[in-house]
Structure 1
């Protein structure tokens, strides 16, 4: 017989795999019998339609002048040619590029910030971590002790019990003054988990906001996960740099939930990738060469934290280098985190997806073996065929450069956002004029994903491209 689960706080009905209540956002208790609730990490939502010809056609809205927007990608599809091999960057035997067949048991990866600084927008490497303010993170009140239970007088003066809920530190409502006290119940914390309720304790990564003069990003834990396994990093080359003034480098990584320490994997990979990107650009490297070097170093970094091939942290990777002088956008990726071009107007290149997922379902569609609907109905739909980690074997990273006609915005995001808005045009319509206020737009994207269900970690980084330079040509090898 199927048992109907309800939230003890608001009595709202909860699905079998929910960890948090969708009604009030509070954590749900374990099911009867002590078995923990299953995690709903895999949401089979349809990704984008075929990219072939998707960026050409009439201008949406039928504004004055009509006609067609300049194209952004070649007519034979998106820029997905492998560019740089990461063979040797990860530990373990090189198995070659994974074949796009249904992953067998044990094969394939099933889908499941930086230091604080002055919150002002200073330019390069300015980070701001915001406190957690959602209702879903309010601690549950402890039950009042029974008046009938009278304890015998103690032999020694009792140690006074700490107040519950614990007082907050600064502006964060979930960080108790006593780090050994659980943020969710009166239990004690050991190794990051409560010994009583078993919940992972909140960290500063539950909600992170990054702001610079040229880009902004927001990352959120979402409503169902117990921790944020996404990470992002932004670096901006100084405006007076002699080689690449004002160039923006950004990385978004999504930890693979089925791997251990996936939150650490995404953080190490994002920070390493963005740092190397900026270093290479400052030295005068071509954006494509810089992206290749950054992805190789990032792959080495995440492989280096693995204890063994059987316990290898893993994550996806997507980066962007926006050169305001040349008007070019260079993206690199492994996995299914995405880069989009969001059109800024009828004279700009049409909104487009700039990446193609390294997933089993996308591989089946591109091979013509299955329709997109058939592929997404498969149990392997969200399985990755490429990722960064010590157990990834030999993989080919993808690098592509496009020269859009601006203005517009480059969006890097994890699947916590694009699962709800897979189409480039739907992202553009959801937040019109995103490039004018990128920080506000990033917050809005996170809010939209939370309202849509928030079933995964959500990250969005926006880089405005105000230039009128460039053209419709895309470059790829």
Structure 2
């Protein structure tokens, strides 16, 4: 007879070998650690800047969830100095990725995330892959694991068990001012996340050294979601950096970039009923002051992670455009009730031709002391939803951003890797950081 055992605290079904319940996060008794698994429900409730005051983290524009710009109504009132310049950007942005479409129906919507998992003792791999620039990881020795000092057999490491990355499965982008790592995870057949990083030249007359980053998460229930995320991320980062170079303030540039990105992903839809879609989160970081402007639609997140006792406390800088968050904000359900729902992670806003007119969010904050701005998809925050949990899992992320980004991806893989995982770490101060006087 098959015996199915459940968590004594929340009655969620647990998997063989599970130490923690995926539903409530509690430690499981020994007698229930051999049960059969089912996908878990909601993650722990999120904290945001609107909920608690955090010393030293100053918002320049009030609560970060206030709608700031309508993607349906905003127009680019400022004309480019050259039509050919914007035509070149638009041509790049709207060019579909040349990839064969998968036959059959779209993948089902992403499963809800797990409860927060504890950080293992070893958080950073000892065997970093030889990645440079924006090229995908390509091991120099195909028989050697890219994650640990193990050997590879039939595409899997015999020591850690991880599938070896190929092509877009695992991508690393490194600049002197920011690092991004994106991984397919362990359950998806392809990586539907995307990221883009731009750095304004240090000798630019406007916004010198400013760091621009965008993370997008393709909506799995939409067609060609991998194309949607790539086109949206590249368009958003390119337009945002260019407008900063032209002298626009970060908030105006962020709104304009989001509009262009939304137009670009809408342009690749074959019809309103077949519309690729994705989430979007961007950051502009001033290397001299640390002032950070965030823009977002959907449930990809931005965090401030404190790097010293005197720095601003770690904090979530965004609020999800999700059903559960909407119910809480409307007062219809308590956070606990909303997070128990099967619709907890359902999106209520995204970028795509079928999104309708949506209000994007823009917020500006100025942290004190050293630390890091982290952008990520839910492939990471499903396991570490709280800002302090991210800080504790990889202390000092801003000091070693490449090691930190890879460590976060490794932690998500070790916790289950149910979704694609993308993390961008922007140190504050950046490599060009310090005061303007110090840079001169």
TM-score relative to the length of structure 1: 0.66
* CA distance 1:119–1:455, shift in 2 (3 Å): closer
* CA distance 1:88–1:78, shift in 2 (3 Å): closer
Q: 1:136·1:223 contact (CA, 8 Å) conserved in 2?
A: no
Return the offset for 1:288: 0.6
Pick one of 249, 259, 281 that aligns with 1:296: 259
1:127 counterpart = 2:142 = no
* CA distance 1:140–1:289, shift in 2 (3 Å): closer
Pick one of 342, 362, 375 that aligns with 1:399: 362
* CA distance 1:3–1:297, shift in 2 (3 Å): farther
* CA distance 1:468–1:348, shift in 2 (3 Å): farther
Q: How does 1:171-320 map to 2 (within 5 A)?
A: 204-320=167-283
Partner of 2:118: none
Q: 1:406·1:468 contact (CA, 8 Å) conserved in 2?
A: no
Q: 1:51·1:77 contact (CA, 8 Å) conserved in 2?
A: no
CA distance in structure 2 between the partners assigned to 1:345 and 1:137 by the alignment:
40
Question: Does the residue aligned with 1:250 lie in a helix, a strand or coil?
Answer: strand
Partner of 2:42: 44
Pick one of 144, 154, 161 that aligns with 1:139: 154
Bigger CA drift: 459-468 or 381-390? Answer: 459-468
Return the offset for 1:13: 6.7
- Post-superposition Cα deviations, 1:280-328, rounded to whole Å, max 9, x if no partner, equal 1111111011101110000001001110111100000000000123431
Runs of 4 or more off by more than 6 Å in structure 1?
A: 1-4, 12-15, 134-137
CA distance in structure 1 between the partners assigned to 2:110 and 2:435 by the alignment:
39
Question: Does the residue aligned with 1:131 lie in a helix, a strand or coil?
Answer: coil
Question: Does the residue aligned with 1:128 lie in a helix, a strand or coil?
Answer: coil
Q: How does 1:2-151 map to 2 (within 5 A)?
A: 44-49=42-47, 51-56=49-54, 69-73=55-59, 78-87=63-72, 110-112=109-111, 120=132, 126-131=133-138, 133=146, 139=154
Question: Does the residue aligned with 1:463 lie in a helix, a strand or coil?
Answer: strand
Return the offset for 1:140: 7.4
CA distance in structure 1 between the partners assigned to 2:403 and 2:50 by the alignment:
32
Q: 2:289·2:434 contact (CA, 8 Å) conserved in 1?
A: no
What 5-or-longer segments of structure 1 have no aligned partner? Answer: 5-11, 16-38, 57-68, 91-108, 113-117, 121-125, 142-172, 175-201, 471-477
Partner of 1:381: 344
* CA distance 1:447–1:136, shift in 2 (3 Å): farther
CA distance in structure 1 between the partners assigned to 2:153 and 2:350 by the alignment:
35
CA distance in structure 2 between the partners assigned to 1:389 and 1:53 by the alignment:
30
Bigger CA drift: 211-220 or 373-382? Answer: 373-382
CA distance in structure 1 between the partners assigned to 2:74 and 2:2 by the alignment:
48
Return the offset for 1:77: 8.0
What 5-or-longer segments of structure 2 have no aligned partner? Answer: 5-14, 19-37, 76-107, 112-129, 140-145, 157-162
Q: How does 1:352-431 map to 2 (within 5 A)?
A: 352-431=315-394
Return the offset for 1:390: 0.3
Where is the helix percentage greater, Structure 1 or Structure 2?
Answer: 2
- Post-superposition Cα deviations, 1:117-164, rounded to whole Å, max 9, x if no partner, equal x955xxxxx4231137469995379xxxxxxxxxxxxxxxxxxxxxxx
Matched length: 341
TM-score relative to the length of structure 2: 0.71
Question: Does the residue aligned with 1:288 lie in a helix, a strand or coil?
Answer: helix
CA distance in structure 1 between the partners assigned to 2:151 and 2:44 by the alignment:
28
